[in-house]
Structure 1
Amino acid sequence: MKLQNFDFRIWDKNKNRFRTKDCSINFHFNEEHKRENWFKVFVYSYENVNGIRDKNLWGVHAEYYKDDEAEIELFTGLKDKNGNDIYEGDILQDSKGNINVVSFSYDSGFIVFEDSCLHELNLKSLEVIGNIHKNPELLDKE
């Protein structure tokens, strides 16, 4: 994945919603250079002019989260068979009906089906059918 493709989404556990587009994250570190247990999200909002988002007319506000109040999920840099972005926490189904969750491992990168790495799978057979936050019932079908 190229840095220009770097993307993420934030699951807000208190509001049960994603904060996805038009935001940036600011982590805080203490004097010992250890990350604090909270982070700040700058949310950019754009004014609609005649139904079109005008990026010249914008505002910004900050939202603060403790680590246990939100989850930051990374974009894999890949798309499913329908062209949908695949993020950490997405639930994927293959052509055989197998269902699993995209997770991240520092050893292997993004993992979908147990010992398979996401880049090794045939993306033309995978479809994002939900995510672990909004559709946990999909995992009960396994």
Structure 2
Amino acid sequence: MSTSQHIQTILNGTIHSLKTIIPMNIDVKSPSIITEPYTQQEMGVLIGLIGDLKGRIIIDSTPEIFGAVGSSMFGMPLDGAMLESFTGELGNMIAGNLCTYAGQYELELDITPPTVMVGNTKLYGFQQAFNLPATIDGAGDISILYTIDEK
């Protein structure tokens, strides 16, 4: 399978994962290619991808939006360390679901433990990156960034 087919599978799997994991209506926008550096503004989670494709997933948004998603999923407000922990776990759930989806299409992927990033962070060191923006009804905007490393 070519890298472009892998990327299409990842993008389709991400849409599937978002709609499976998050119990809110989600409007996924068209993906775009971006160049480094990528600036994460407020809060995000980074998860490494290993296997047939090597790279990283960065789920980027704000504490308020992650909190609204957490509140919808668990029925209670989240803040502080609990919100940061939830953000990492949400990344795990989305990335893990993506790996299961990709496996159905002959793309073997695994993930690394999540790294939660709080504050303004610039990310460098990737060949290509694909940005998949989405709007979650009742919460706000979220971006999922995929950086692809050369094998």
Give me the TM-score of the superposition, normalised by structure 1.
0.24
- The structure with the greater share of residues assigned to strand is 1
- The structure with the greater share of residues assigned to helix is 2
Greater relative contact order structure (CA < 8 Å, 6+ sep): 2
Give me the TM-score of the superposition, normalised by structure 2.
0.23
